Structure 1
Amino acid sequence: MSRLTDHLIVISFDCLSSLDFPMLEELPHFQEILQKGSYCKNVETIYPSVTYPCHATIVTGNYPKKHGVINNTLLQPGKNSPDWYWHRHHIKGTTLYDEAKKAGMTTAAFLWPVTAKADIDYNMPEIFANRPWHHQIAVSLRNGSPLHQLEMNRRFGHIRKGLSQPELDDFVLESTVQTIKMKKPNLLLVHFTDLDTQRHYNGFSSKEALSAIRRHDTRLGRIINALKESGIYEHSTIVALGDHSALDESKAVKPNVLLRENGLITVNNQGKVLDWKVYCKSCDGSAYIYVKDKLNSSILKTTRELLDRLVSDSNNGIEKVLTGEEAGMKGADDQAAFMIEAAQGYYFKEGLEGDYIDTITPEDVKEKRYTLASHGYSPEKENYTTILMMAGKGIRSNAILPSMHLVDEGPTFAHLLGISLGNTDGQIIKELLTV
Structure 2
Amino acid sequence: MTAFTKNMIVISFDCLAAIDYSLIETLPNFQRVFENGSFCKRVRTIYPSLTYPCHSTIVTGKYPKNHGVVNNTLIQPGSASPDWNWYRSAIEGTTLYDEAYKANLSNAALLWPVTAKAKSIQYNLPEIFANRPWQNQIVVSLLNGTASYQWELNKLYGYIRNGLSQPELDDFVLESTVHTILKKKPNLLLVHFTDLDTMRHDYGVHSQEAIDAIHRHDKRLGRILDALEESGQFSETTIIILGDHAALDENKAVNLNVHFSDQKLLTVNSKGKILDWKAYCKGCDGSAYIYLKDQENGAIKDKVEGILKNLMADPNNGIEKIITGKEAGKLGADPNCAFMIEAAYGFYFIEDHLGEFIKEVTEENRLSNPKFLRACHGYSPDKEDYQTFFLASGKGIQSRQEVPSMGLIDIGPTLAKLLGLDLGETDGQVIEQFLVSV
> Deviations along 1:260-301, whole A, 9 cap, x unmatched?
000000011111110000000000000000011111110000
Question: For 1:390, which of 386, 389, 392 is the aligned residue?
Answer: 392
| Contact preservation (8 Å) 2:350, 2:371 | no
d(CA) in 2 for partners of 1:395, 1:369: 41
Partner residue of 1:227? 228
| Contact preservation (8 Å) 2:35, 2:400 | yes
Residue 330 of structure 1: CA displacement? Answer: 0.3
d(CA) in 2 for partners of 1:369, 1:39: 34
d(CA) in 2 for partners of 1:295, 1:143: 38
Residue 168 of structure 1: CA displacement? Answer: 0.3
Give the partner amino acid of 1:398: R
Tell me the SS of whatever aligns to 2:42.
Answer: strand
Residue 6 of structure 1: CA displacement? Answer: 2.0
> Deviations along 1:302-323, whole A, 9 cap, x unmatched?
0000001111111110000010
d(CA) in 1 for partners of 2:371, 2:431: 41
d(CA) in 1 for partners of 2:349, 2:69: 19
Partner residue of 1:158? 159
Partner residue of 2:135? 134
Give the partner amino acid of 2:115: T
Tell me the SS of whatever aligns to 2:141.
Answer: helix
The 4+ residue runs of structure 1 with deviation greater than 4 A are: none
> Deviations along 1:405-430, whole A, 9 cap, x unmatched?
00000000000100010010000111
Residue 35 of structure 1: CA displacement? Answer: 2.0
| Contact preservation (8 Å) 2:62, 2:427 | yes
Give the partner amino acid of 1:269: S
Give the partner amino acid of 1:364: N
Residue 364 of structure 1: CA displacement? Answer: 1.2
Give the partner amino acid of 1:403: S
Give the partner amino acid of 2:122: D
* Percentage identity across paired residues of the two chains: 60
Q: Which structure 2 residues correspond to residues 135-214 of structure 1 after superposition, within 5 A?
A: 135-214=136-215
d(CA) in 1 for partners of 2:371, 2:415: 38
Tell me the SS of whatever aligns to 1:36.
Answer: coil
d(CA) in 2 for partners of 1:413, 1:146: 28
Give the partner amino acid of 1:147: S
Partner residue of 2:341? 340
Partner residue of 1:408? 410
d(CA) in 2 for partners of 1:340, 1:431: 36
d(CA) in 1 for partners of 2:308, 2:353: 17
Residue 36 of structure 1: CA displacement? Answer: 1.1
Give the partner amino acid of 1:28: P
d(CA) in 1 for partners of 2:36, 2:27: 14
Q: Which structure 2 residues correspond to residues 56-135 of structure 1 after superposition, within 5 A?
A: 56-119=56-119, 120-135=121-136
Partner residue of 2:354? 353
Partner residue of 2:267? 266
Tell me the SS of whatever aligns to 2:69.
Answer: coil
Give unpaired runs (5+ residues) of structure 1: none
Give the partner amino acid of 1:420: D
d(CA) in 1 for partners of 2:361, 2:289: 22
Tell me the SS of whatever aligns to 2:35.
Answer: helix
Q: Which structure 2 residues correspond to residues 326-337 of structure 1 after superposition, within 5 A?
A: 326-337=327-338
Residue 3 of structure 1: CA displacement? Answer: 1.2
d(CA) in 2 for partners of 1:7, 1:364: 46
d(CA) in 2 for partners of 1:389, 1:309: 44
Q: Which structure 2 residues correspond to residues 241-320 of structure 1 after superposition, within 5 A?
A: 241-320=242-321
Residue 372 of structure 1: CA displacement? Answer: 0.3
> Deviations along 1:381-406, whole A, 9 cap, x unmatched?
00000000000000000110000000
Normalised TM-score (structure 2): 0.99
Partner residue of 2:30? 30
> Deviations along 1:61-97, whole A, 9 cap, x unmatched?
0000000000000000000000000000000000000
How many residues align structurally? 435
Residue 225 of structure 1: CA displacement? Answer: 0.6
d(CA) in 1 for partners of 2:127, 2:425: 27
> Deviations along 1:136-191, whole A, 9 cap, x unmatched?
00000000000010000000000000000000000000001000001111100000
Give the partner amino acid of 1:400: E
Partner residue of 2:9? 9
d(CA) in 1 for partners of 2:332, 2:110: 27
Normalised TM-score (structure 1): 0.99
Tell me the SS of whatever aligns to 1:69.
Answer: coil
d(CA) in 1 for partners of 2:359, 2:176: 41
Tell me the SS of whatever aligns to 1:407.
Answer: helix
d(CA) in 2 for partners of 1:354, 1:189: 41
> Deviations along 1:85-117, whole A, 9 cap, x unmatched?
000000000000000000000100000000000
Residue 369 of structure 1: CA displacement? Answer: 3.8
Give unpaired runs (5+ residues) of structure 2: none
d(CA) in 1 for partners of 2:62, 2:180: 29
Residue 132 of structure 1: CA displacement? Answer: 1.2
Give the partner amino acid of 1:418: G
d(CA) in 2 for partners of 1:105, 1:35: 28
d(CA) in 2 for partners of 1:217, 1:110: 18
d(CA) in 2 for partners of 1:125, 1:100: 18
Residue 33 of structure 1: CA displacement? Answer: 1.2
